[in-house]
Amino acid sequence: MKEGKAFLKSKMKWVGLVGLVLSVFSLFVHFLLARFTEDGFSEYQSSITIFSWRPVFEATDLSRTSPLYRRLWGPVGQLESLHPHANPKGYYADPSAKSNGYIFVRIQGGFHEIRSSICDVVAVSRFLNATLVVPEIQQTTSKKGISSQFKSFAYLYNEETFMAALVKDVNIVKTLPKSLKSARRNKEIPVFRVPYAASPYYYLHNVLPILIKHSVVELVVSDGGCLQAILPPDLEEYQSLRCRVAFHALRFRQDVQDLATNILHRLRAPGRPFIAFDPGMTRDALAYHGCSELFQDVHAELIQHRRAWMRKRGIIKGQLSVNSAKQRLKGSCPLTPEEVGILLRAYGYSWDTIIYVSGGEVFGGQRTLIPLHGLFENVVDRTSLSTSWELSRIYGREANLDESYPRAPPSAQVETKLDAWKNSGPRPRPLPPPPARPKTYNIEGWWGWVAESDNEPESTVVELRTNAHKLLWEAIDYTVAVEADVFIPGFDSDGKGHPNFASLVMGHRLYQSAASKTYRPDRKEVVRLLDQIHGHIYHANHSWLTSIRRHMRSSLIDGLIEASNKSKSSSLLSHPVPECSCLRPNPSDTLSNASTPSVHLQVHAALGVVHRCPAWMDGEKNLSSNEKDNEEDIDENDPSSSRLFLQHAGSHDAGGEDINLKEESQFEDQEEDGGD
């Protein structure tokens, strides 16, 4: 009997062991399928509930035909006649088979600087009748110990697409001929450090003679653009060429593009539109414009340290200490994420709207975004819409750089001490001196070197590699922001006073789909409005909400016209109109009285658009005039949208639901009377 029980127990153990092994094997197989099966993994990832902390879109049920939906998400009717047109507008010859020589280019800087510079060097190559070598891009990766893949054009962009798209514009080769390669290694070819926004005649009188003499020149571009934004009328075709480069030839490498597309699919999976927001709050931008006092404690110290560093190198000409409050009132400082969130809520976007935060850096980290999370429940970014494995896969494989990075040799003093110890008298001898400790700083503990030195510590190899990865992060964000239903920037200037990442996004959206909603708020006016209700900002009254809505709606057109006067002079890509756009006027505009031109024609005249679109575009569907007018005549005092803002405030305050009920009834009365 006992033997039977023992046998049964032994058998049960074996059954349990087999079941355990099968379970482990099943988990292992599922992991392999998710890890190495591209389609399966993407399908699995897209089924993840991203916005899990609150039911999505439970507060609003907007029909796509409702006036409020058209005001929040619909196209801007006054801009629907603008269409992309970057093709040559006159006679345009193919590049000459016999060139004046090779142009080798090294481009240094961040994402937006690299993108602008590539467009410029293509135009310069065409202007000089030169053969362009595919540019080398660098983001502070010019030191030893960094793989050459981080300097290659192909690390960010699709090289084959770039060359094929420009085959009728300029001769492009991947590398220099062998004879010129050796000359470059021996530093025997002329090098030009090209000034920012140089005129075409700089290249004609300075670069071209040297190019013809040596058959090759090297250009070093470091400030985000080597050709002036506005060219003479006789060089109009070079403007179209720059647009063809930026908006057609520059395609991100395939795996980066695929990940950006997957993120877009996951954003649109709930079936609702989304807003892309670029804070523009980089440390360099804050330091350049003197906005350090917007932050507290060590953050302000870090910005001031950077400003001192920039003054030392001549980037900044002004004083070290700047009154940040005055800079903010002048509109020279970025809008904070909280201020942008208040603008969007006041305009009518509900608490469950998806906000995609783009850009490579938000100074202050996630702490700065906490107020935005309080206003909108669905604030996401690339990291929350993808896995760490998806992101790390696009970086490529490389050995541990810390081990291969050349270390500094020991100092002469240390070597002397060691020799003295080895050659000292008989034992027992004193212990040898301890090895010299390298002077390093904790990345998060930057207050150590802020207090200790005027110079910032040199970046480690890992930090340099991370800087290269930021190019890929911003490439993903750029793709998502261009395709977003709505885009709003927090700032439009970088750490050198030039148009930044957000400016390039707005320019691309203006070219690709001019009528898509792109807010360009006047920061000076926004600060004035926000200061009016400082202290009770979440309990806004009727007149303030009306002012905000009028300003936000007017920024769609007025901000665009302002950009044509401000950003255009610094970067064509931030405002490619009218050079890269054409006009398809409405029949109502054609029939309108010349003495009373329509609003559409006034906008086109302000933007300077005169080119008529080619005939093959006339077959495309156009919105009726009545529908466009309805979109623009929607009243800012829509009561449903005001409730969205006030209801959110009430959710955080016990008495919030009773606030402004009298004002809401006034909104409804105004609706019945026709509004203002």
What are the tens digits of pLDDT across the range 248-273?
999 999 999 999 999 999 999 988 99
Weakest-pLDDT range from 43-47, 70-74, 191-195, 626-630: 43-47
Q: How far is CA 513 from CA 81, 229, 508, 517, 581, in A?
A: 10, 22, 8, 9, 10
- The pLDDT value recorded for residue 367 is 83
Smallest CA-to-CA distance from 176 within 102, 122, 97, 83 is with: 102
d(CA 355, CA 374): 12
Say which residues have a Cβ less than 8 Å from residue 13's Cβ, sequence separation at least 6. none
Of the ranges 206-220, 253-267, 446-460, which one carries the lowest mean pLDDT score?
446-460
Written as six digits, the tokens of 621 are 């569907």
| 8 Å CB contact between 141 and 254 | no
Rg (CA), the chain: 30
What DSSP line would sit under 146-206, residue for residue? S-GGGGSGGGTB-HHHHHHHTTTT--EESS--HHHHHHHHTT-S-EEEPPTT--HHHIIII
Query: In the structure, what pLDDT confidence band is assigned to residue 593 with cuts at 50, 70 and 90?
Result: very low
- Judge whether 525 and 544 are in contact, CB under 8 Å: no
Q: Which tokens is 389 given? A: 């494995």
Predicted pLDDT of residue 375: 93
582 phi, psi to nearest 5 deg: -135, 170
- Name the amino acid, one letter, at 184: R
Q: Find where tokens 């449903």 sit.
A: 640
Strand runs (DSSP E) across 101-149, as ranges?
102-108, 131-133, 136-138
| CB-CB contact of 257 with 137 (8 Å) | no
Band the pLDDT of 38: cuts 50, 70, 90: very low
Contact criterion met (CB below 8 Å) for 111 and 503: no
- What pLDDT shows up at residue 312? 87
C-alpha 403/C-alpha 422 separation (Å) is 29
Mean pLDDT of 94-98: 89
pLDDT for the residue numbered 609: 75
Give the pLDDT confidence score for residue 628 in this predicted structure. Answer: 44
Nearest to 109 by CA among 169, 59, 156: 156
How, if at all, do strands 131-133 and 102-108 pair?
Answer: parallel
- At 435, which amino acid appears? P
Can you say how many angstroms the Cα of residue 512 is from the centroid of all Cα atoms in its chain?
16
Cβ 355 vs Cβ 274: under 8 Å: yes
What percent of the chain is modeled with pLDDT above 90? Answer: 41
**CA distance linking residue 517 with residue 489, whole number of Å:** 12
Model confidence, pTM: 0.81
User: How far apart, in Å, are the Cα atoms of 29 and each of 23, 43, 97, 544?
Assistant: 10, 17, 57, 60
* For range 503-515, the mean pLDDT: 95
Task: Domain ranges for the chain, please list them.
Answer: 102-251, 256-396+460-566
Sorting pLDDT into bands at 50, 70 and 90, what band is 535?
confident
Q: Give percent above pLDDT 70 in the chain.
A: 70
pLDDT for residue 165 is more than 80: yes
Query: Distance between CA atoms of 99 and 110, rounded to whole angstroms?
Result: 31
Q: What is the DSSP string of 329-376?
A: HTT-SPPPHHHHHHHHHHHT--TT-EEEE-SS--TTTHHHHHHHHHH-
Mean pLDDT along residues 76-81: 90
d(CA 649, CA 661): 13
Mean pLDDT of 309-329: 87
| Average pLDDT in the chain | 78
Paired tokens of 214: 């040596």
